[in-house]
Amino acid sequence: MNAARSGYRVFSANSTAACTELAKRITERLGAELGKSVVYQETNGETRVEIKESVRGQDVFIIQTIPRDVNTAVMELLIMAYALKTSCARNIIGVIPYFPYSKQSKMRKRGSIVCKLLASMLAKAGLSHIITMDLHQKEIQGFFSFPVDNLRASPFLLQYIQEEIPDYRNAVVAKSPDAAKRAQSYAERLRLGLAVIHGEAQCTEQDMDDGRHSPPTVKNTTLHTGLELPLMMAKEKPPITVVGDVGGRIAIIVDDIIDDVESFVAAAEILKERGAYKIFIMATHGLLSADAPRLIEESSIDEVVVTNTVPHEVQKLQCPKIKTVDISLILSEAIRRIHNGESMAYLFRNITMDD
């Protein structure tokens, strides 16, 4: 298919070669070529984008995978979108498999909802549609003023379990409170039992001390003693424990993001103590920050399976336990359907809100 003649172009907004691998896979499936552009950082740290061909009146898809340098990737996407807008592209669609700042989608004390800010910035830059995958919170779609297609990676991960784990029928899906619905969905589709991991530290939900618990400085004022508010008891997380029988079975832990792996490693240790003989971690986005590869390699985890929404080739070299599932097929089909004006319902067959 000649993409230029059919009225659409596909660009990669990444300046690093490792991040363009997914874009190349998508264009190969589409039978298209990547659009000609130059994205780079100048010596003063500024991002520069140059579009090297005409996009006037065309649908343009920007594929942006998010490396460790998140802020640079965001600026690359914003600047490319604005460059295409000023080059008279008809529609600008962002293909962002892992949406950055998705963990900052709730108000935390004196913080801010950064994810909503990013959504506004993308709209202002010229994007008119977004294709993403497994948003950390599905409610994030409401932050946008334009359509968002939140695709699912679960069919690919379920297929991996069925094809690559020969005795998966002897498995249980272990769920933590943070991914309870997702784990239950996997268990129901695979016809497996559930084990509940209770007491695991949930870093994303913790309220960090920021001074609110400190009494304000009193300066020559009289405290009002007539107002007595009921005191909320402080939370105290119990030790990590497992509810359910995992003895002599495979344990499969599922989540949407695996970044800091301490909680997964701790859960794996408990599952191993309770008799699980193999432990698999399944996640859509493998951020694997900091010492994650080393911790996984030294842990009781047998395999960590993630998709290629985020580049992690360096982490795979450090830890052979990390395996990758390719999701370029569904992204390329989404691009084709959006450009041709076809229904996206086919990509959501048998998908529920819990997936």
Q: Per-10-residue mean pLDDT for the chain, 355 residues long?
A: 68 86 95 94 94 95 92 96 96 96 89 95 97 93 95 95 93 79 90 83 47 52 65 75 88 93 92 94 94 96 96 94 97 96 92 76
pTM: 0.87
Closest residue by Cα to residue 287 from 264, 265, 306: 306
Instruction: Say what the pLDDT of residue 202 is.
Output: 47
Helix/strand/coil percentages in the chain, nearest 5? 35, 20, 45
Please state the three-class secondary structure of 110-128 as a single string.
CCCCHHHHHHHHHHHHCCC
Take residue 24 and report the two structure tokens written for it: 């190349």
31 phi, psi to nearest 5 deg: 70, 30
Instruction: Say what the pLDDT of residue 118 is.
Output: 97
Burial class (CB in 10 A: 0-12, 13-18, 19+), 242: buried
Instruction: Say what the pLDDT of residue 223 is.
Output: 54
Q: Are 119 and 127 in contact (CB under 8 A)?
A: no
Residue listed under structure tokens 């982490």: 315
For the chain, domain boundaries:
9-151, 155-199+240-325
49 phi, psi to nearest 5 deg: -125, 130
- Decide if 9-151 and 155-199+240-325 have a common fold: yes
Instruction: Say what the pLDDT of residue 165 is.
Output: 93
Alpha-carbon distance of 154 to 257, in angstroms, equals 13
The answer for 191, left when phi > 0, alpha when psi is -120 to 50, beta otherwise, is left
Q: Are 21 and 311 in contact (CB under 8 A)?
A: yes
Tell me how crowded residue 201 is: count the other CB atoms within 10 A of its CB. Answer: 12
Instruction: Say what the pLDDT of residue 252 is.
Output: 95
Closest residue by Cα to residue 138 from 128, 127, 148: 148
Angle between helix axes 21-30 and 328-340 (nearest 10 degrees) is 50
Q: Are 37 and 49 in contact (CB under 8 A)?
A: yes
Q: Are 66 and 98 in contact (CB under 8 A)?
A: yes
Q: Are 258 and 288 in contact (CB under 8 A)?
A: yes
First to last CA, the chain: 33
Alpha-carbon distance of 3 to 347, in angstroms, equals 22
Closest residue by Cα to residue 61 from 29, 31, 23: 23
Instruction: For domain 9-151, give the fold.
Output: Rossmann fold (3.40.50)
Give the containing element (helix H, strand E) for 23. Answer: helix 21-30
The CATH number that domain 155-199+240-325 falls under is 3.40.50.2020
Tell me how crowded residue 203 is: count the other CB atoms within 10 A of its CB. Answer: 13
Take residue 20 and report the two structure tokens written for it: 């363009």
Instruction: Say what the pLDDT of residue 245 is.
Output: 87
Alpha-carbon distance of 305 to 171, in angstroms, equals 16
Alpha-carbon distance of 188 to 350, in angstroms, equals 13
Alpha-carbon distance of 303 to 323, in angstroms, equals 7
Tell me how crowded residue 103 is: count the other CB atoms within 10 A of its CB. Answer: 14
